[in-house]
Amino acid sequence: MITNPWNLTEREATAMTAVIQHGRAKTAARAMGISHRTTEVYFCAARKKMGVSSLVQAAVKWDRYLREQVAA
């Protein structure tokens, strides 16, 4: 289980990573094996918890967090 400063659930964290990697909810959903709407719900919930409104802002915050984890 991933612990993170925003208390994202495992599915929200997975969706966040997938959407950032694939650039779109539809493509991420295919990779995750779930519907694109479900992916959007998880991603939107994660963005809200992170206090950001765009994919780019979310990607920057998530990337910083992951880099800090690797460096620690």
pLDDT at 28: 93
Number of domains in the chain: 1
Running along the chain, 72 residues long, what does each successive block of 10 average in pLDDT?
Answer: 85 92 92 94 95 93 91 82
Residue 60 falls within a domain, yes or no? yes
Residue 22 falls within a domain, yes or no? yes
Q: What sign has the CA pseudo-torsion 60, 4, 8, 38?
A: positive
CA 33 to chain centre: 16
Residue 2 falls within a domain, yes or no? no
- State the CATH number of the domain containing residue 32: 1.10.10
Residue 1 falls within a domain, yes or no? no
Residue 4 falls within a domain, yes or no? no
Kindly report the length of the chain. Answer: 72
pTM for this prediction? 0.86
The DSSP 8-state label assigned to residue 23 in this structure reads: S
Which residues form the domain of 25? 10-71
Name the 3-class secondary structure at 53.
coil
Please give the Cα distance from 20 to 71 (Å, whole number).
Answer: 21
* 61's tokens: 């915050």
Residue 49 falls within a domain, yes or no? yes
